[in-house]
Structure 1
Amino acid sequence: MDARPMKGARFEELAWRSTPLGEISLRRRIDPALRAEVFEVKLGDEYLMSSLFTVAEVELARLALAARPHGGVDMVVGGLGLGCTADAALADERVRSLIVVDALDDVIGWHRDGLLPLSAAIVADPRCRLVHGDFFALTAGAGFDPDAPARRFHVIAVDIDHSPRHLLSPGHADFYTEEGLRRLRRHLHPGGVFALWSDDPPDAAFTTVLEAVFATSTAHVVTFANPVRGGESSNTVYVAVAAS
């Protein structure tokens, strides 16, 4: 993360609410060692995301879009978070429409209230719509566009669970099976791209599932500097392409 000018109090809880998944909070703090303004999201006692670690979230959008090298793109992002994946997608001029789905209306509200550094650009972009909904339920149902049931997309990128094995809710598990991914594939155009962020190393069992559903599948290891522990850390971005 690029260091931002430090301002205001050393620590602020910008938003907090109890949800069915647990207590969610948005916090802003100043890290004096890094001389940086840091935004963090916690669900209960668990850290969901930090603005110190956003490289893989950006790569999720970049790698997904790179797998569709030609033509305009209608895209879905599952999981809004700090907005890094959505912002990276909108930076690609080929993206003509973007729907970002988040199960927590609070997270959408943070961006509409301008609480995060990327909020203004995301909310103001006429190509982008923020949709409050359960991404997994929408996958199993009529799809992601409330105004156009059964609409298909060129790219669907997902950053919700920690990994296909480390889930925020047990109810998400079915999505990562062959049947679940086949349901997702029907929302893609022929040759469409599915991309998934994971906090874990590449999972051979999940890659096998992807290969059973999609024409091609690649697990990209994304490395980045770890400013907290030092050295490097890594995430995985899976990119799978449907048959044309």
Structure 2
Amino acid sequence: MQSKRGRLDRYLAKQLIQPKKAIRQLLLQGRVKVDDAICKDMDKQIDEFSHILVDDRTLQSNQPIYIMLHKPVGVVSATQDPNHKTVLDLINHPQKHELHIVGRLDLNTSGLVLLTNDSRWSSQLMHPQHKVTKRYKVRLANPIQHEYIEGFANGFHFEYEGVTTLPAKLEIVAEREAIVSILEGKYHQIKRMFGRYRNPVVELHRLSVGLLELDPVLKCGESRMLTQSEVFLVRS
């Protein structure tokens, strides 16, 4: 989702339905405040969370929202779906329909899902160039062999997309359980990687995205707002 950044003068002209010359006068007269400070710069860059006042009348005062959800199996990562309950159906927030999903999970995958209205924040987490690690707990139908570790580290070529996966880390924690860390999120990626060994994934659960870990207190279907320190884990 693209960030809603733009020039202050263009925003004012659109909101006040006034020509550029009138907007210039407003600014020069010190009648415009951006984030509680008088602003006379027409080229000032603002976004959807800039607090903007004209003659002490509020034009914009949006607040960023950051939510962590423990997604259950059977819930779809979408804002609406005719056949399944969606992650938004589980959120109790008056502005939930303004949120977008940060890193979707398959219908049959559980675990950490993040939702926000801050497109720059979500881009820092999910844009491929940032290579943010996603960790998953996986339960397999058959015993895991140690040869899988090297295969995951080398990457797999997905012929359908014509790409090779980035190196992934596989940690065997039990005969049929593992922790997998990946830097991308291709279609059914983990299931397809284990599929190379003809070992079906029985359960898949996302533990973390970057430094943000699923709160162990959250039960399946529960959500909460992120703390300020959790939000800044991404920005740092």
Class of the TM-score when normalised by the shorter of the 2 chains: under 0.3
Task: Give the alignment's TM-score, normalised by structure 2.
Answer: 0.23
Normalised by the length of structure 1, the TM-score is 0.22
Larger Rg: 2
